Amino acid sequence: MRKINVFMVAVIIFSMITACPAESPISKDTNAAIEKRIEDLLSQMTLEEKITMLSGDVTGFDTKPIERLGIPALNMTDGPVGVRVLTKETSVAFPASVCMAATWNIDLMYKLGQTLGLEAKAKGKNVLLGPCINIHRVPHGGRNFESFGEDPYLTSKIAVNYIKGVQSEKVIATAKHFACNNQESDRFSIDVKVDERTLNEIYLPAFKAAVQKGGIWAIMSAYNRLNGHYCSANTWLLTDTLKEKWGFKGFVMSDWGAVHSCIPELHAGLDLEMPTTNYFKIDDVNQAVGRKLIKPSKIDDKVRRILRAMFYMCCFDKKETERGDCDTPENRAVALQVAQEGIVLLKNQNNILPVGGNIKSIALIGSNAAKLAYGGGSSWVAAPTHTISPLDALTSKAGQGCAVRFEPGTFFEDDFSLIPSECLVPPAGYDKEHGLLASFYPKANLEGQPVRQQVENSVDFSWQRQSREDPEPDFTSITWTGRLAAPETGEYVIGLGSDRGSCLYINGQIVIDTRSRHGFGLKYKYTTVQLEKDKPVDIKIEYYERRRRVAVRLVWQKNEQPPLQKAVELAKSSDMAILFLGSNLLDESEGSDREDLSLPQYQEELIQKVSEVNPKIVVVLHGGAGILMNKWLDKVSGLVLAWFPGQEGGNAIADILLGKVNPSGKLVTTFFKRWEDCAAYGNYPGQDGTVNYAEGVFVGYRYFDAKGIEPYFPFGYGLSYTDFEYKNLVISRKTVRPEKPVTVNLTVKNRGNRDGAEVVQLYLGDEKASVPRPVKELKGFQKVFLKAGEEKTISLTIEPQDMKFFDIYRHDWKAEPGKFNVYIGSSSRDIRLKGSFILK
C-alpha cells in the first residue's frame, strides 16, 4: 500500500478552496428575492443586534447600523414640505401641505413628492418624515397648515400621489400621525374618544389609502391616546387594523418621545422607538424575551419589517443616498407652481383683481409684505435657499408705470432693542446699581425657595439642553424683579418674548400674558405703556414651563411715530391698498393650538383705518385654516388666501395679483362665520384629559350641510378671473349593482377671455339610509385646464366603495339599496349639475 503524502493532500485541498471561493450570502445577492435576502440576514443576526435595530441613536434622527452584517442606518429628515437637517443646511422650502392640497392637482403632487425625494437623497437621507395626513377637526389646530384639510377623500388622493412620488426616488415616505392627532392642546396625553364608524369614515381612510394605494413603507404613531390607549401602545390600531386588516408590510415608528413603556409597545405593534433608546433597551428586551414576556418571533417580525422597507427602497445601495445639489431651478419651479395653483381667490368685488392698468400707485401694508410668511412653525421648517418677499416681487413685476410703496403698519421685531441695564434697577439690598434680580425656582409655577439668585444686566436669557444625556437643570421657573426707569417721558411699546409661558407685570398689574397654548420658538407679545422720566415703575417677569429650551427677552421701542398712522397716510395717497395680514410660523406651530381665531387686534384696526381713506382694498391672508372675518370682510373688495406659500411665495402672490397667473386654488377646509357654527364646538379642547368626538362623521362641510349653516366660504370654493360653464351630465347607469362602478361624464367650457383651470367636484349623497349620513360627500374631482373659449368632456368614476358607510354591527363596510344623488359643482355649495342612480 502506497503511503499518502500528507503535504500533497494539504496542497490539493488548499487549491480546491481557493479555486472555488465560498458562496456569498443570499442577503448580498441582488438577484435573489427580497424575502429570501431578509430571512438570510435574520438568520445571521444575534438577538442583541435585532434589538439594536428597534430604536434610534443619539443623533435624534438616525437608527443604528449593524456594521458586522452591512446593515445601514435609516437616516431620517423632516419634513413634509422641505428637507430639514439639524446642521441648518438650506433646502427648497415648499408651500405648506394645506396649500399643496388646495391645488387639487394630484399629478402635481406626484411631481412634488418626487422632488422631495430627490432633495432627501441630495442630503444623504433615506427616510422623509411626511406626509402629515391628519384631518382638520377644529380651526384652532396648530398643525392644520401641515395637513391636507378636512375631507378624507381629498386627503387620501393627495397623499397617495405625494407618497408615490417620494418613494419613486427610493426614499421611504412616512404617513403621520397615526391616529387622531387633531389638536396640539395636551397632545402628549389627551385621550381621544371616537366611535368605530367615525374612525373608519373620517380619520383612518387616508392612512388606509397610504398603505393600500400608496404602498407606503413607514407609519408614525401619534402622541395622544385613542379610546384609552396611547397610540404607540394601541394593539387595535397598530396590529389589528394597520398590519392585519390593511396588510401593511412596512414598519411603525413612534413620534419623537411617544413611547411610555417597553413591553406594551412591543406587543401592540410598534417596531421602532424614536428618537433614541429610552425603553427598547437591549437588557430590558432581552430579559423580557428570557422571561417569555415577548416571543422572539415578535422581535423578528419587527426587524423583518424594517429590513423589508430598506431592501425595497434600496437603502443597501449607497448610490441611492449620494449627496448632491437640491437647490436646482427645476426644484424651485415645482415650489413656485404649487404656490401658484394653491393660492385661493376668495373675494373679488367689482373685479378689483387682477390689478389693472388704471392703477398707477399701490400701497403695500403689513409686515408680511416685506418679510414673506413662507411657512408654519416647528418640525416641518426647512431653511430656505432663498426667499423673495411680496414687496420685492411686486416691485419688480408691476412695471415702471406703477409705483409700489410700503409701510408695515406696525413695528418690526428688528425695530425693538433690549431694555438696557441703565434703565433697570434691582430691588434694594443688592450690590449692583443696574439690572434685574433673577430668581431660579426648582419647581413649576414658582413653587418653593429659589435655588439661586443673581442680578442680570438685561432680560436676554437663553438655555438649552444640547442632548438627552445632558443633566437636567436646577430650575423649572424663573422671575426677574426690580424697577423700570424711562430715560425720557413718552409712550413706549414693550415686548416680552419667550418660547413658553411668560407674564409681565407693571406696578403689580399683568400687562402681557402668554401662559396658554404657547408653541415652539421665541414668540413676542406687546403692550403700550406711558412712562415718565424720574418716575420708575415696578416690573416683574415670570417664566414657566421649561422643557428642553428656555428663551426670554424683554425689549422696547419709543412710540414716537405710530406706524399705523404712516400706513393710513400711504393708503390715502395711493390708487389701491394691498394689506398682507394673517399668521406666521410663530402663530401657527407644532406644540400649541391657536388661542384666538380672529386676526390680531392691530391687524383688524389696520383694515378699519385704511378702509376709511381708500375703498380699493385687497387683503392677502396667510394661515393654515379658517379665521373670523365678521369685523372686516365687508370693508375689503378683494381677498386672496396665500396660505403659507413656501420660499417662492412672493413671486406666486405677485403673479396672482397682477394677473400673470389665473388663480385656480380651492379651499380644503371650511371658512366659518362663527366658532359656534363648527361641529366640534363644545367638544374641544377637552376636559379632564379627554376629548369626545361627539360630532361623529359630521366633520367640516358635512356638518354645515346637515345643519343648514351658511359659512363665509364653503369647502371646495375658489374664484377665477374667468368663468366656467358646466353642461351635458351623463350618468352611465340608472340602476347599479353593488359591485359595479358608475361613470359620470360632463362637459366644462371656459366662457371667459382668459385661460384658466377649474376643479370639477363630484359629491354623492345617499337619499335615505338606516344611519345618519351626510347630505353629500366628495367622491371625485378633476382639475381641468382650458384656454379661453375651450371646452372639454371629462369623466369621473364612482367606485362601489364610495356608496358605502361603516356598519358598527358588522365591523365592516355596507351599501344599502336605494337612490343616490350625484352633485357636480365648483364647490360643495355651488352645485351646477345634478343626477341620480338606483343602487340595487
Catalytic residues: 255
Separation of alpha carbons 289 and 262, rounded Å: 12
Amino acid residing at 656: I
Angle of CA points 603, 608, 611, to nearest 5°: 120
Q: Tell me: cis bond preceding 615? Omega within 30 of 0 counts.
A: no
Nearest to 676 by CA among 714, 713, 704: 704
Measured CA angle at 594 (ends 590, 598), to 5 deg: 150
Task: Tell me the C-alpha distance between 701 and 679, whole Å.
Answer: 9
- The whole-angstrom separation of Cα 744 and Cα 749 is 17
**Computed over its alpha carbons, how large is the radius of gyration of the chain?**
30
CB 651 within 8 A of CB 393: yes
DSSP state of 673: S
Residue 240 DSSP one-character state: I
Question: Cα dist. 549→322, 379, 392, 481 in Å?
Answer: 34, 15, 35, 22
CA-CA distances (angstroms) from residue 641 to 282, 340, 415, 653?
Answer: 51, 11, 28, 9
In DSSP notation, 622-666 reads E-SS--B-TTTGGG-SEEEE--S--TTHHHHHHHHHHTSS-----
Cα of first residue to Cα of last residue in the chain, in angstroms, is: 93
DSSP 8-state class, residue 91 = E
Helix (H/G/I), strand (E/B), else coil: 334: helix
Close Cβ partners of 478 (under 8 Å, ≥ 6 residues apart)? 438, 439, 440, 441, 461, 542, 543, 550, 552
CA distance 644 to 703: 27
Q: Which cell is 700 given?
A: 367640516
Strand stretches in 544-575, DSSP E:
549-558
Measured CA to CA, the distance from residue 67 to residue 369 in angstroms comes to 51
**DSSP letter, residue 26:** G
